[in-house]
Structure 1
Amino acid sequence: MRETVTYVHMTDQDQFRPAAAVPGLALAPLDRRSPLVVELQARIGAPYGWGSAVRTAPEWELWFARHPDRAFWLLSHDGKPAGLLACDLHPDDEVEIDTFGLVPEFVGRGLGGYALTLAVRQAWNLTPAVRRVWLHTSSVDHPAALPNYHRRGFSTFKVEEGEGA
């Protein structure tokens, strides 16, 4: 299957266009040892063929070891786990949003714009000196993902075509 991977970024907080607040939607730090980190990544990625949906326990151990500084946040709606944010701080004060998404039962309920708003605010506030926030999305991800990123103020800086999963 052909896959298009699109890389988007913001290079200034003034580019950020927040969505309207959704009552009950919140973002809170999540300990990397929480079983929710694995569970939510698997559930978010399953409909889109993400590797996180099929990783074995030993593969998760290796994944965590390769990303010792990755930080996680739980998206919740009315107190129920609704999604996940994971960020990596890179050299030159760049933040990569590595994982962002909602679990299937919260998709299509009008939460994505504000969920991304919360995620982008967190990414910009990861350290006082953040100068760029970026991520990538795929054509096999949810069809609303890329338009949502653009609506929030991200601009495309690279596109790659290739064979997907």
Structure 2
Amino acid sequence: MEEIVTHLEMSSPADLRPAPPVPGLSAEHVPADSPLVRPTTVRIGKPYNWPSSRWSDDDWASYLAREGRQCVLIRYLSEVAGLADYQSHGDGEVEITTFGLVPEYVGKGIGGYALTLAIEQAWQCGPDVRRVWLHTSDLDHPHALPNYHRRGFRTFRTTRGQR
């Protein structure tokens, strides 16, 4: 299936345009090998046919064991509502490799603030972070790209590919 992939970036924490807070929504650091990371990511990505929703045990083990991987659960009133994970690439670069909400929280008005929390955590992935970036696809939720732009991300590249 053909997709258009949009790559986005922020070059300063001051670029963040936060969404209004949602009472009860929080971000909780968990180890990459937490038993919640894989199933939450699969639940987020399955409706959009993310490749990670089809990975083998070995693929997951390799992904989660990468040096510099950090994970944050997005919780709403103590329930897991979503997840963000990050990969530090060195030279002050942090990629948000996963961000999303599980299906039962999509469309509930919490995505903007959940993304705000995820971005704030990305800027705290190390003392020298100077760039936070990510990519999204036109096959992802239709509100994903507009939400990234509203939070202050700028598009720096668009590519075509296959999912």
Is TM > 0.5 for Structure 1 vs Structure 2? yes
Deviations 1:78-99 (A, max 9, x none): 0000111101111210111011
Deviations 1:38-92 (A, max 9, x none): 1001100000001221222233223334x23311011000000011110111121
Q: Which runs of 5+ in 1 are unaligned?
A: none
**Shift in alpha-carbon separation, 1:28–1:3, aligned structure 2, 3 A:** same
Letter in 2 for 1:34: S
Deviations 1:86-121 (A, max 9, x none): 011112101110111100001000011000000000
**Shift in alpha-carbon separation, 1:59–1:90, aligned structure 2, 3 A:** closer
Say whether 1:47 aligns with 2:53. Answer: no
Partner of 2:12 in structure 1?
Answer: 12
Question: C-alpha root-mean-square deviation of aligned residues, in Å?
Answer: 1.1
Partner of 1:133 in structure 2?
Answer: 132
Q: Superposition pairs for residues 1-165 of structure 1, below 5 Å?
A: 1-65=1-65, 67-162=66-161, 164-165=162-163
| TM-score, normalization by structure 1 | 0.94
What number of residue pairs does the alignment pair up? Answer: 163
| TM-score, normalization by structure 2 | 0.95
> What secondary structure, in the 3-state scheme, does the structure 2 residue paired with 1:35 have?
coil
The CA distance in 1 between the partners of 2:81 and 2:112, in whole Å, is: 14
Q: Which runs of 5+ in 2 are unaligned?
A: none
> What secondary structure, in the 3-state scheme, does the structure 2 residue paired with 1:98 have?
strand
Would the aligned equivalents of 2:87 and 2:97 in 1 still touch at CA under 8 Å?
yes
Q: Percent identity?
A: 51
The CA distance in 2 between the partners of 1:140 and 1:102, in whole Å, is: 15
Deviations 1:125-146 (A, max 9, x none): 1122211110000010000000
Letter in 2 for 1:52: S
Alpha-carbon distance, 1:12 to partner:
1.5
Alpha-carbon distance, 1:34 to partner:
1.2
> What secondary structure, in the 3-state scheme, does the structure 2 residue paired with 1:119 have?
helix
Letter in 1 for 2:101: L
